[in-house]
Each structure stands twice: as C-alpha cells, then as structure tokens.
Structure 1
Amino acid sequence: MDSPDADETPPDRRTAGFKDRTRIDAARRRVLDAATPHKRIERLSLVPADGRALAEAVTSQRAVPDYRRAAMDGWAVRAEDTFGASDRSPGILRVADDEPSSSPETAVGPERAVRVHTGSELPDGADAVVMIEHVERVGEELEVFDAVTDGENVAPVGEDVAEGQLLFEPGHRLRPSDLGLLKSVGIDRVQVYERPTVGVIPTGEELVQSDPAPGEVIETNGLTVSRLVERWGGVPTYRNVVTDDESALRAAIQRDLTKDIVVTTGGSSVGARDLLPEVVDDLGEVLVHGVALKPGHPVALGIVEETPVVMLPGYPVAAIVNAVQFLRPLVKHIGHLPDDPPPTTTARLDQKIPSEPGVRTFARVKVADGAAGSDDDSERDDDGSAREDEESDSLPTATPTRASGSGVLSSVALADGWVAVPEDREGYDAGERVAVERWEWSA
C-alpha cells in the first residue's frame, strides 16, 4: 500500500527499500511547503524582461491613444453638417486643404472637411469622419453620400488604454504582447524577480562526458536537466560529474547551497552506491524518499539549510519525469513564476497502456493526426457534441513509444508527450480517449 501521509523516512533505507511510497501530489506539496520564494528584485528594460515575473503592479503612464484619431481613411467633418446626406441628396462641404492632412493645423469649421488617414489626429472642430468611399470630390467641393453621427469613425482618447489603468498585477509573467503594451504606454523598464538559481550536479563513478570505455556511460541527465531549468525560467549551473563518494557528494551539495535549488542526478535509490539520501539527511532532512510514480519511484526530496534538494534517479527517463513533476514546480514557486499546466492534446490510444494500481504511470507516446473531419458534415447529439463514431475518426492517434524502460532516453526524445495514468486506474485500453501532456512544449 502507498502511504501518502507518511512523515517519517525509514531509518535504514537500504534495508527497508521502498515498501511505502508517497503519492506524487503529497510529495510535491511537502517539498513546496518547505521551500520559500526568494525576494531578489532587479530593474530591467523590456527586451530582457521577456518571460520574467513582475515584482510590482504596473499601471499605464498615459492614455492610448492620447489624442482623438481617425479610425478610417476619409474626411474629418462636423457630424451636424452631414445630417440628411444620402445618395439621392448628397451634402455639399468645402474642401479645406488640397493635400491630405494628419495634423490639427487645419481646423474644421462649418460645412468644411479635412482629409485624414487612419490613425491621424482629428483636426480641431471635427467630431466625425466620413469614410472615403462615401464621398466624391468635385473641384473644391466634397459631395457626401452618407450622414455620420458625433464620434463615428473616431477613436477617442484612451480607447485602448486609459491613463492610470492597472495593466498587470505582481507575479504576472511577461509575454511578448505585454512588452508591446508597456512600450505603448511609455514604460521602458520594469521591476521583476530575479531568475531562480539551480545547481545541477550529475553523480556516478561510471559517468564520462565523451568516448566511453566499456562499463562507462556518457553523462546526459545533467545536460538535459540544466536545459529544462533554463526553459522553465531558472539559471542553471551545470557542474562536473561527482563520483560516488560521501565526502565528495557532501562537498558538492554544500558548495551549491548558495543556489535557490540543488538538483542531483543518480545515486538516489537504495543500492550500495546510492549515497545521496544519507548525505542529504546528515546535512539537513530528507522529506520524501520513494514516490508512487513510474518510471522513477526512487526519487528523493530534501531540504538543507532552507535550500531544497531534488535527488533525481539516474535512469534518463526517470530523471526527466521526476524533474518535470518536482523540479519544475520548485523553479516556478521560488521564482514567483506561474506554474501553468502543460498543453495537452486529446487523442485515441491505438495500444493498451498497463499501470499498477496506486501508482501514477507516465507512458511516452507519439501522436499522429487523425482523418480530417468536418464539423459541419458530422452528425451531432442533442447537446451539440459530435457523435462517438464521427469523433473517433477525427481524433489524433496516440501510440506508446515503449511500454516500460526508464533507461531508454530515445523513448522520450522521439515522443510527442506522455499520457499520465492516474493512481485509481489499472491502465488504459486501446481505443480510449486520453490526454497527451506536451510537457516539453511548455515553459
């Protein structure tokens, strides 16, 4: 049985193994509760502020537009001078200027019109714009075939943004469109939270960076995890490989306690060379060791001198799954960044995905587009939804890349996402609708 609320770590992990495994949501909650968001703030110009979390509310410094402007190409007029104008009985106005005007220098007086372009400032005295297709110029006169009302085809002051309007709350993550809005209201620098720092420590005496001899393995977890941290909004420091030695591991962790988060790869299980949980427990506290998820249940989560330590398993797929489930939320939490769920695609399985009851299984899948279907041609039920037979034809197909194997990195790299089988299911049958999490597409 899983023990979602167990607070005590077995005194001898190598003997006890993983008889009790914490449910994934409880494990995540436990480490997030132990972590404190940092308070470091910096002031940045707009381009480097992209993707950063605001540290203060932002209000508009000016209205947009801050002048009345023409919303159409045409002629600026007094609306009252066009009343009664029609195709049969056009209104006659005097042309105020031979050249198109985009400034208020030429005022609009009684029965007078000034040429304007979309976005140009409305001349003094004008209160409306007649579209260019509704007039005809004859010499110095303008025949108006359509009456306009006060304010018609005119963008008022503050139509887009009012002066003093609240634009963003603290904690909002800035997007490219936000940067354009800020620039439009006269803001060129903002207060944002610094990106959280993460020390990434690959461990294992068998790891090398290149040219492996028999029995050696090229280090990939640290590279992958550091790049994920960067994508999630953190600043990774990718360290050299640390061998399976208690003193070396202790020193490596202590060195990176200046970071907001320490993450290690390998050495988190209960084997003779899995020393990290003991080292972390000696330096601080292991909060969780063994989680009810697959692949990667030997993950461990701890805290040392108020710095969370994420001990990822050494198998590549297990390391990635656990990084997404635990490291990503920590980066977001400590960096004041929104922890939005990954985008998902609804698909139909073409093969069965087995799962152990009480364990959340992450099955890697490839997604292929279904047959193109037209909503207009499909039959629908009374509630407006597409009928099952029509819908099944148009849904994408999800194909597992590998049913098991946490050491097969290609099963993730060649997948489009994964299907998370919840703890209360014994898997999904072929033909079932599933949500494919596109975790690598999310920031």
Structure 2
Amino acid sequence: PKGADAVVMLENTKKIGEELEVWISVTPGENVSKKGEDIKKGAVAVKAGTRLKPQHLGLIAALGKAEVKVFEKPKVAILATGNELVEVGAKPREDQIFEVNRLVLSALCCELEAEPVDLGIAKDDIDEITAKLKMGLEVADAIITTGGTSVGISDLVPEAVNKLGKPGVIVHGIAMRPAMPTALAMVNEKPIIVLSGNPVAAMIGFEVFAKPTINALMKLEKEEPRPVIKAKMTRRVTTTLGRKTFVRVYVYKSGEEYFAEPISARGSGIISTMTRANGYVVVPENVDGLDEGETVSVHLFDAVEGEKHV
C-alpha cells in the first residue's frame, strides 16, 4: 500500500479479529523486491542454444511460461560391423567375440542427450553394410559406425559410405593414438563418423569427433568441457612423434598434491583400461613422451579419490 516501505513475513504475524498482530520489527526496505531485480523487462532470460538444466526450468516457470520452443534431440544411428561379432548373451564360437561398442556408444550418446538408434551388426559384406547405412540415413541425423575402417580386405565401411553419395569420405586416417583409422564423411548433409572396432579407440574417437558433432547438431551455444585438473606424472610415458596421443591415467590425491598414474596396458582393445582410468592426458604430436614428475593437464571422466588403488 502507499506509504509502506517494508514487508513483514506472514509467519511472523497473527490475525486477531479484524486486526493483525506483528511479532517482529522490520527495517525500511526489508523483504521488498524491486521491479526488475531478477529479470529486467526486455532482457533475455535463457539464450537460444542453451542446454536446459533445472535452474533454467525454474526461471522459465517463474516467468509464467508453461511451454517454450526447443530443438529436437538429434537421432544418432549406430552400426557395428564384423563377421567375428555376436550379440551379448549369445554363445560365441572360438573365432567370435561379444559386440560391446554399440552399447557403449549408445550410452555416450545418451550422456549428451542425443537419441541413439540401433542398426545392429552387419557382416563384412559391402551390400549389407551399404543397406544398413542407407537405413541410418533415413531415420537419423548422423551415423556412427564401429569396425571395418582399417586397411584389411574385410574393412569395407569407407567403401560402403562412398557408394551412398557425395562427398562421401572426406578424411580417412588421423594422426592420433588410439583411433588412428577413424574416417569422417558426409552424405546427404548428414555426418558419418567411422570409428575403430577396438573399444578404447572407439571411445576416444567418440570423445574427439562424435561429441562435438552431436553438440553442433543440437545447436548448443557452447560446449560443456570435461573438468581438467593439474597432476604430476608418477612415471615416464613414451609416445610416438607425429601422432597426438591420448594417455589413459588414474588420478589420485596424496597430501595436497594430485598424481597421474599411467594405465599400464596401452592396447586399444583392452576396455578394462577405461574402467581403471578416471581421465586422460593429451600428448601433442610434436612431443615424444611425458617425464616422471612432469605436471600435466588431465581431462577427467570420473571422480578423483584420495588414495591410490590401481
């Protein structure tokens, strides 16, 4: 009302008949919200391209908006190739292995809030691979394949991609380790990312190539980088000049310092290294390794604990 300059909270009052009993005193301006102190008239509350989090939803609701326009989640088709692959739960022959990459890549897509579309397993047959890829182009905004991208006689995925249309494969082979045989393609204005069949290489390839591609499809204003922490290497690691290398490490805290323990098994098919690691270090192509005691930047994908247990 006119002349009032403070507000007493309801719980500090009691109505008695037609009168109101106030139990506390207030100072001028107390419990008074000024116009525009939260959001000024005409200001942008939530920018286009923002990944909506709980706090954004709360602000939108506070403005009385029951609905807002959003971008549709991109659909990402995922295909595995290889005669040696069988579904998890099946009984493999001696020359077969369980296909795990589709599950892993689907989970990584879900982390980014993209919608995975399972294309199953294709044998090492050019026509079958091509048919599966065509299906993916029809139902999804992007395709990720795993396997069939090296230089063997049965590595047919790049050839199948090129049969689908122009420009097809743009890059095949990246100077990095793991994930060197990665191929990047575009067909019908849809990106196709051809990853290695080795699980670790596929996961690193997803991190480097698929993640920014999916974020671009989402039209995000900015990406959300992984947390980075400084740590000291516990021993020397050798790398190959001319290749950017992603070294899996286990980071732990001892006293007031953080240390990075390289994971011994470096093979790109040893998936347990990704469960034992909680981060990775990127070694540039012009550096031939990391020295013991060297301070490095670790990109974390899991929590840091207070003691070593690798």
Could you say which TM-score interval applies, normalised by the shorter chain?
0.7 to 0.9
Give matches, 1:136-175, under 5 Å.
148=27, 150-152=28-30, 154-175=32-53
The answer (yes or no) to whether the contact 1:68–1:155 under 8 Å persists in 2 is no
SS of equivalent residue, structure 2 residue 180 = coil
SS at match of 2:229: strand
Which residue of 305, 309, 325 corresponds with 2:192?
A: 309
**2:88 paired with 1:204:** no
Q: 1:370 maps to which residue? A: 254
Which residue is 1:434 aligned to?
Answer: 296
RMSD (Å) for aligned C-alpha atoms: 2.6
Unpaired runs of 5+ residues, structure 1, are: 1-66, 76-96, 107-112, 118-129, 132-147, 372-393
**Equivalent AA in structure 2 for residue 348 of structure 1:** K
Q: Which amino acid aligns with 2:48?
A: P
How far residue 400 of structure 1 moved from its aligned partner, in angstroms, is 1.1
Q: Give the deviation of 1:253 after TM superposition.
A: 0.5
Whole-Å Cα distance in 2 between the matches of residues 404 and 204 of structure 1? 23
Match of 1:363, SS state, is strand
| Per-residue CA distance 1:275-303 (angstroms, 9 max, x = gap) | 11111123232100000110110111111
Among all aligned residue pairs of Structure 1 and Structure 2, give the percentage whose two residues are the same amino acid.
35
CA distance in 1, matches of 2:162, 2:264: 35
Equivalent pair of 1:416/1:438 in contact (CA under 8 Å): yes
Match of 2:306 in 1: none
- Aligned pair in 2 of structure 1 residues 215, 69: CA closer, same or farther (>3 Å)? farther
| 2:6–2:30 Cα contact (<8 Å) kept | no
Partner of 1:49: none
Alignment of 1:422 with 2:279, yes or no, is no
Helix, strand or coil: the match of 2:245?
Answer: strand
Instruction: After TM superposition, give the deviation of residue 424 of structure 1 in Å.
Output: 2.3
Q: Distance in 2 between matches of 1:440 and 1:229?
A: 17
Q: In structure 1, the residue corresponding to 2:91 is in which secondary structure?
A: coil
Q: 1:408 maps to which residue?
A: 270
State the distance in 1 between where 2:15 and 2:78 align.
66
Deviations 1:66-91 (A, max 9, x none): x987387998xxxxxxxxxxxxxxxx
Q: Equivalents in 1 of 2:8, 2:170: separation in Å?
A: 61
Which of 294, 315, 320 is the equivalent residue of 2:177? Answer: 294
- Cα deviation, 1:258-315, whole Å, max 9, x if unaligned, reads 2110111000111111011111123232100000110110111111222211110111
Contact 2:82 2:123 in 1 (8 A): yes
TM-score scaled to structure 1, two decimals? 0.62
Per-residue CA distance 1:387-442 (angstroms, 9 max, x = gap): xxxxxxx221111113521010000122101111112211111111111112468x
**Match of 2:237, SS?**
coil
Separation in structure 2 between the aligned mates of residue 222 and residue 407 of structure 1, nearest angstrom: 15
Q: 1:238 to 1:151 in 2, by over 3 A?
A: same
- The structure with the larger Rg is 1
Pair 1:235-2:115 in alignment: yes
Query: How does 1:328-407 map onto structure 2 within 5 Å?
Result: 328-337=211-220, 338-371=222-255, 394-402=256-264, 404-407=266-269
Alignment match, 2:7: 70
Q: Report 1:315-334 matches (<5 A).
A: 315-334=198-217
Helix, strand or coil for the counterpart of 1:154? Answer: coil
Structure 1 residues 440 and 329: alpha-carbon distance in aligned structure 2, compared to 1, 3 A threshold: farther
2-structure distance, mates of 1:177, 1:352: 44
Q: Distance in 2 between matches of 1:396 and 1:181?
A: 38
Q: Is the 8 A contact 2:5 2:29 kept in 1?
A: no
What letter is aligned with 1:370?
S
Cα–Cα, structure 1 residues 153 and 260, in superposed 2: closer, same or farther, change >3 Å? closer
TM-score (norm 2): 0.87
- Structure 2 residues not aligned, in runs of 5+: 304-310
Equivalent pairs, count: 294
CA deviation after TM superposition for structure 1 residue 247, in Å: 0.4
Aligned residue for 2:136?
256
Partner of 2:307: none
Retained in 1: the 8 A contact 2:76–2:141?
yes
